[in-house]
Every structure is written in C-alpha cells, then in structure tokens.
Structure 1
Amino acid sequence: MAKNPKPKARGYGGLDDWFRKENWVNVQTGGPCGRPSAKKGKKPACRPAAVAAKLTKNQKSAAAKKKRAGAQNVKWPVTASGRRRKPKK
C-alpha cells in the first residue's frame, strides 16, 4: 500500500472562510459580531449583514431577547441565504 502523503498546512478554509466572506454583524447594533470580553457583557445575536438588513426593527429586538433568554432555538424569519421562512401554523 502507498503511504498517505503528508497533509499540507491548512490556512483558513471551510467554516472560517465562510464566516469571513459573510461579514457577520450584531443584529441590534449593526456593528461587528462579537464582544470585547467573553466574561463581560451580553451575548450578541449575530447574522450575516445581508440577512440582518432584511430584518425589521421588531424582529431584531426579538432576536436579541431570545438570544439572552437562554439556550433555545432562535427561529429566524430569514435564512442565511436570504430566503424568507414561511410562518408555522
């Protein structure tokens, strides 16, 4: 059997690459996603900039409240690709 070649040193790729291309922003502030210290402050509700721009003011505040409410699924009205979800009946 032939030996597997040594894997090449990987730079950024996959999820890292996708995250950088999408330009993620904080839904409420519109600023960059993240917080200065992991121990201080509220956790931001982040989405790609294109998706965040499509959310209404009420949807943005609801997203931030849901994020702070606890570990539950956030039901976004817009998918990452920008497609609007149909409301559940």
Structure 2
Amino acid sequence: MVHTVEGVRKELGRPVWRMNRLRPKIEKDGEVAALEYCARNRTEGFDEVLEHELAEFTAEAIILRFPETFTDKNLREIARTRLVEAGVNVEAAVKG
C-alpha cells in the first residue's frame, strides 16, 4: 500500500514525499495497526490511489480481504462504507 501511494504520487508529477507518518507507525505498531489507523482516519493516499483506479491497494480493501486478521466488525463496516461512498466496486476491490 505504501509503495502504491508513493508510486501514484510520482506518476502524477507530485512531490514524492515518503509516507512519513505511516512508515513510523508501521515500525512502531505493526502493519495491522497501521492499516486500521488508515481505515479509521481518511488519508490523502486513499484519494490518490482511487484517482488511479487502484482501490484494491487501499487499507479499506485490504481489511475487507482479510477478515480473519481484521476481526473488528465495526472496522470492517467503516472500511466498506468508505469504499461504497467513494463509488468503488467493493467486491472487485476486495478480490484484488
């Protein structure tokens, strides 16, 4: 996910700043906690990835793809709702 957002920024000709808040969160709390954070707090990366029609790389799609890891039903509902509200075909995004 992190590499996807940074790649999208590069393709769009935007400054390619590394995801300076998310990378330390991953190192400190782990990938699962970082993905949960992204789903609960809308990020710029979400919009950037959707601009390139890469919804399968959003934290929200990853969370829905792995319900055995992300067992919090409320979190999965937040993820699903965000994707639906963004006009994403949730089933296609979850299949990857």
TM-score by length of 2: 0.22
Q: Please identify which structure carries the higher helix content.
A: 2
Higher relative contact order (Cα pairs below 8 Å, separated by 6+ residues): 2
Question: In terms of Rg, which structure is larger?
Answer: 1
Q: Please identify which structure carries the higher strand content.
A: 1
